[in-house]
């Protein structure tokens, strides 16, 4: 119809060096010192940096961000996860160089025999996941936020990915494709690296299944109620 999908995304993530500089300053003022303990909280403002899109298109240098982190004056224990995740970026590029087919094929080839749901059932489950209609509040909230804004926190990305693969048994490639179409920070190396891991076929494959519950990501319930308003009348926590 007349829905302008790009307008709210561009309003939330203006892409310029000035915008990147402003976001960088605000994150280090508002949230960086709490990142180590609050990074999984989707219901808290500045629990994550919101800088990934700027790193993706080049309006922010990863070197600048790394040195900003090292010069923060915070102890190593308070910066280690943020620094490690920044380095993941280069690890992803190395993996894509080494495994150029990883965008739609398992890095660990013996996982090609994994049995996934197929046919009409695959389409039904995938559509419910894509549009946030699975019936699992945190999953639906994340997927609706993704389509509306082009973004969600790393922890919610991992939950919805794990849900698609482990609970719905849909091939991780389908999730990778949807993320690449909808994420404002979609990266041709990072995205398939993380989805390979979620599908248990990556170099650092996940040896865990994330529970699709809200407790650690949305302690107040406000995040879920914002994106799944039909639950707004329920008591906290969801």
Return d(Cα 103, Cα 186) in angstroms, integer: 12
With a CB cutoff of 8 Å and minimum separation 6, the contacts of 26 are 46
Tens of pLDDT, residue by residue over 121-172, are 999 999 999 999 999 999 999 999 999 999 999 999 999 999 999 999 999 9
Mean pLDDT of 192-206: 90
**What is the pLDDT of the chain when averaged over all its residues?**
90
Q: Is 28 annotated as a binding residue?
A: no
68 assigned binding-site residue: no
Q: Pick the most confident of 3-7, 155-159, 175-179, 226-230.
A: 175-179
188 touches 96 (CB < 8 A) = yes
Among 60-64, 68-72, 80-84, 211-215, where is mean pLDDT lowest? 211-215
Q: Check the annotation: does 50 bind a ligand.
A: yes
The CATH number that domain 109-231 falls under is: 1.10.579.10
The per-residue pLDDT for range 67-87, each reduced to its tens digit, is 999 998 888 898 888 998 899
Look at residue 13 in the predicted model and tell me its pLDDT: 83
Tell me: is residue 224 an annotated ligand-binding position: no
Burial of residue 93 (CB within 10 Å: 0-12, 13-18, 19+) is: middle
pLDDT for the residue numbered 1: 47
Res 115 pLDDT > 80: yes
pTM to 2 decimal places: 0.90
C-alpha–C-alpha distance, residues 119 and 111, integer Å: 20
186 is in an annotated binding site: yes
Q: Is 51 annotated as a binding residue?
A: yes
Range 113-125 average pLDDT: 97
Split at pLDDT 50, 70, 90, the class of 18 is very high
Query: Is residue 49 annotated as involved in ligand binding?
Result: yes
Q: Is 201 annotated for ligand binding? A: no
CA 208 – CA 198 distance, rounded (Å): 9
Which of 135-149, 201-215, 216-230 has the least mean pLDDT?
201-215
Average pLDDT over residues 90-114: 94
pLDDT at 219 (0 to 100): 78
| Residue in the structure block whose two tokens are 């600048």 | 64
For the segment 44-49, the average pLDDT, to the nearest whole number, is: 83
Domain ranges of the chain: 6-98, 109-231
Residue 238 in this model has a pLDDT that exceeds 60 = no
Encoded tokens for 15:
């892409």
Determine whether the annotation assigns residue 82 to a binding site: yes
Element (H, E) at 20: helix 17-30
What's the pLDDT score for residue 132?
98
> What CATH code would you report for 6-98?
1.25.40.80
Name which residue leads in pLDDT, 43 or 188. 188
């Amino acid at each position: 119809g007349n829905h302008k999908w790009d307008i709210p995304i561009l309003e939330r993530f203006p892409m310029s060096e000035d915008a990147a500089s402003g976001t960088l300053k605000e994150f280090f003022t508002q949230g960086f010192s709490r990142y180590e303990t609050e990074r999984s909280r989707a219901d808290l403002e500045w629990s994550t940096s919101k800088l990934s899109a700027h790193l993706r298109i080049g309006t922010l240098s990863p070197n600048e961000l790394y040195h900003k982190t090292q010069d923060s004056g915070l102890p190593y224990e308070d910066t280690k996860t943020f620094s490690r995740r920044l380095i993941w970026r280069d690890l992803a590029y190395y993996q894509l160089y080494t495994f150029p087919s990883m965008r739609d094929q398992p890095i660990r080839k013996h996982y090609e025999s994994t049995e996934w749901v197929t046919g009409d059932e695959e389409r039904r489950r995938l559509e419910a996941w894509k549009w946030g209609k699975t019936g699992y509040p945190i999953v639906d909230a994340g997927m609706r936020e993704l389509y509306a804004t082009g973004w969600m926190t790393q922890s919610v990305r991992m939950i919805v990915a794990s849900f698609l693969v482990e609970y719905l048994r849909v091939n991780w490639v389908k999730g990778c494709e949807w993320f690449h179409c909808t994420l404002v920070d979609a990266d041709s190396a990072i995205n398939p690296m993380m989805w390979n891991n979620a599908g248990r076929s990556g170099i650092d494959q996940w040896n865990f299944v994330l529970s699709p519950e809200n407790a650690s990501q949305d302690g107040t319930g406000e995040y879920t109620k914002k994106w799944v308003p039909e639950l707004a009348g329920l008591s906290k926590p969801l």
